[in-house]
Structure 1
Amino acid sequence: MKRLIVAIQFLTRLPTPRVATSDEDFVGSMRWFPAVGLIIGAIVAAGGWAGAWIDPWVGALAALLLWIGVTGALHLDGLGDIADASGAAHKDRERMIAVMSDPHVGSFGVVAIALQIAAKLVLLHGAVAGQLWWAIALIPFAARIGPLLWSRLLPPLHAGLAARFAHVIRPVHLAIWAGALLIACWFAPALVAAPVAMLAWGAWLRRRIGGISGDGHGAGIELVESALLLIALVVARIA
């Protein structure tokens, strides 16, 4: 339970009890990332449902604001850093890592963040209008399985957050959350595509960046969430 609280503290801005933690607790909290996604998803879906009583666009905006607010834009920051680093990837590796470590956001990052926010708003509108509440609630959970998978498949890019997480995920942890994902697919069939989206992001990171970092995890969560929202809309359209 302590590590779940640590994971909530790390991934969200939600109030939590104060607990004494160690570095081991922080690293081990990664195993609980998908559970935190369930909490985030429930809040986002509730906000979208409440706003939809006024208008689907109001519901979409409420859901988006809660999504960003609850997470503190943590993953959007990672997306911006990855976009800036990708823009500098034609230079040497040291330059690329320096760009990722720079606290300032460049033009690539600004554009990537703006496009992501716009895409999520539009996709959330479609999901709210279609009353895809299960999809909205479960997508943050599914996307946060990604860091567990990427930590197993990709080498750490540098001695940072991802390097600390690299050795805490075992096959049994992936198996447990994969089983939970299968159950979630009963309620939101679009989640079947989650492993494909995660593997695609991992392949892009390996080819373009060379490994995984905290920014890679954050950007991946954002992009997998948007991809699954889009797929949920397509599935609903076909059904």
Structure 2
Amino acid sequence: MSPRPLWIAGRFLSRLPFPDHGETTPVETGLSVPWYPFIGLLMGLLAALTAVGALALAPQIAATLTLIVWVWSTGALHMDGLADSADAWIGGLGSRERTLEIMKDPRSGPAAVTLLGLVLIAKWSGLQALIAAGSPWLLLAVPMLGRVQLLLILLTTPYARQEGMAAAQSRQLPRRATWLAILAAFGATLLAAGWTGVILIAATLVLFALARGRMMARIAGFTGDTAGALVELTETLLLLICASLV
């Protein structure tokens, strides 16, 4: 089995040092999708290791360092989608065309800045609580389940635009392998976190259903930006749940 789909997934979703895969075909782009939860697992491992390495510091400082490493590992890819979606959902005024138009604008308005700040504060608070409780290993599941949302949205939801990377991914998606990757991520979460894992998986699925419903109602599908927003919102929700349960 060629490692190229893994390299493609790693370089697309993260700033981790994956080999340069060169030019890719649409088929290879589709084949990379089932690897997304694994990339999330690596991000969670890096964040957890950072938190463990910083346990000797004050929880606030350790949480700050962990959040910096976590955000760096993603290249803020999904935060960009969260920002664009926030502006579009408020400025779109219920119009599909206007919402899609605003999402293409690279500028960030007050809604984007406000939501980004709130999400970062929420993540920092959750990290601080996990580190103070000595439970940083729960971070392994959070980015992984966040990237499961990308698989679910590609499997179940039409792409809202005519062209784009996600459109190619949808057309070339290996559906069986993608469902198996989802089940593997859920199984790993249950094995590692027990009943806490059950709660995290349930929260992931409920948030997915709610977000998908809103996307279908507003833009009749999803975009890369709304998918990224879903990842960030999922991570934030799951991190706060973990912090509440420790």
TM-score by length of 1: 0.92
CA displacement 1:24-62 (0-9 Å, x = unmatched): 222321221101001101111111111221111111111
- Corresponding residue of 1:198: 208
Q: Does the residue aligned with 2:54 lie in a helix, a strand or coil? A: helix
CA distance 1:36–1:115, change in 2 (3 Å): same
Of 215, 225, 236, the match for 2:235: 225
Query: Is contact 2:48-2:136 (8 Å) kept?
Result: yes
Query: Is contact 2:85-2:225 (8 Å) kept?
Result: yes
TM-score by length of 2: 0.89
Mapped pair 1:6 → 2:15? no
Which structure 2 residue ranges, 5 or more long, are not aligned? none
Of 35, 44, 51, the match for 2:47: 44
- Corresponding residue of 1:25: 28
1:12-161 matched pairs, under 5 angstroms:
12-23=14-25, 24-90=27-93, 92-158=95-161, 159-161=163-165
Identity %: 31
Query: Is contact 2:92-2:102 (8 Å) kept?
Result: no
Of 182, 185, 208, the match for 1:180: 185
Whole-angstrom CA distance in 1 between matches of 2:213 and 2:176: 19
CA displacement 1:91-150 (0-9 Å, x = unmatched): 532221110001111111111111111111111111111222231122111110111101
Aligned alpha-carbon RMSD (Å): 1.7
Whole-angstrom CA distance in 1 between matches of 2:55 and 2:61: 6
Q: What is the deviation of 1:155?
A: 1.4
Q: Does the residue aligned with 1:162 lie in a helix, a strand or coil? A: helix
Which structure 1 residue ranges, 5 or more long, are not aligned? none
Q: Does the residue aligned with 2:209 lie in a helix, a strand or coil? A: helix
CA distance 1:169–1:10, change in 2 (3 Å): same
Post-superposition, which runs of at least 4 consecutive aligned residues in structure 1 deviate over 6 A? Answer: none
Please, which moves more after superposition, 50-59 or 162-171? 162-171
- Corresponding residue of 1:214: 224
Q: What is the deviation of 1:169?
A: 4.4
* Residue type at the aligned position of 1:225: E
Please, which moves more after superposition, 160-169 or 214-223? 160-169
